[in-house]
Amino acid sequence: MQNNSSDAKKRDVHISKALSYLLRHGAVKENLKIDSNGYILVSDLLKHQRLKSFKTTWFDVKRIVRDNDKQRFHLKNKSSSQDDDSVENWYICATQGHSLSKVKPDENSGLLTPIILSQDEVFPTPLIHGTSVDSLFLIIKSGKLSKQKRNHIHLTTGLVDSLENINKKDDETKILSGFRNSSKILIYLKTSPIEYINDLHLLKSINGVVLTESNIPIENFEKIVIRNSKKDDVKIQKLIDLLKENNVSYEFDASCKGSL
């Protein structure tokens, strides 16, 4: 019984990854019709070999959209009756993470909301970008955080639990959208002055991820938090030297072991 449950979970992971690839990156290459808001007809997706190989059904898609821990997908019914469950009437999109230049959700899509603050407001939460040690080397050397091949830089608006808690397994703490739990580097961004924040033209996705197309200079990094690493690791020591050279503040979280 346990093996069946494990196999079902693995199958769902494979289906979710196939959906992510097709909706975020592969639709044009795979000859799938995708609109500017990122929606693809579910019935078209189910005909694609990546989903057919797992015998994916409409029921599977609905379950994965509903249960996805980071709410990566969104369904839309084109029927006048919202009770119509016919697969032919449903579209699906990825809520963020696209690299397709064609996907630029419009302001009426409900998928992205502009974040604009007035002069007397304070940005309510930290802005954090999760990445890898190797990527941080490249970011510091380039002098900026950029979107690379994606349509946006992805940011999370703070940690709902402590850094120690996000090192736990998925079922022990709330999962955050915006970065991978495996990220060993958290880049905290400065959230003032307000003029600077507004110049980033921040957008909030329907699943709570903050997005920007703008480059973010390393001078606007508040600090770097290093996670799940050995302080005396050679690569970590080289990273610290680079951070010091560029006057970027850093700290280790409680998951890091060893001493410098």
Residues 69 and 135 in one domain: no
Residue 6 class from Cβ within 10 Å (0-12 exposed, 13-18 middle, 19+ buried)?
exposed
Inside any domain, residue 258: no
Inside any domain, residue 257: no
Residues 127 and 95 in one domain: no
- pLDDT of 78 reads 85
In tens, the pLDDT along 120-139 reads 787 878 899 999 999 999 99
pTM (global) more than 0.95 = no
- pLDDT of 80 reads 67
- Domain hosting residue 209, numbered range: 113-252
Stretches where the chain sits below pLDDT 70 are 1-3, 80-82, 158-179, 260
- pLDDT of 158 reads 64
- pLDDT of 231 reads 82
Q: Which of 103, 125, 149 is the last residue of a domain?
A: 103
H helices of 33-176, where? 42-46, 49-52, 58-67, 133-142
Q: Which of 103, 125, 151 is the last residue of a domain?
A: 103
Beta strands, E only, the chain: 40-41, 73-77, 90-94, 112-114, 127-131, 144-145, 153-155, 185-189, 203-205, 210-212, 216-217, 221-226, 250-252
Residues 96 and 197 in one domain: no
**242, 137 contact by CB (below 8 A):** yes
- Look at the chain and report how many structural domains it folds into: 2
Residues 175 and 234 in one domain: yes
What is the domain-level CATH number for residue 12? 1.10.10.970
Chain mean position to CA 110: 18
Residues 236 and 124 in one domain: yes
Q: Which of 76, 103, 130 is the last residue of a domain?
A: 103
- pLDDT of 30 reads 97
- pLDDT of 175 reads 43
What is the domain-level CATH number for residue 181? 3.20.170.30
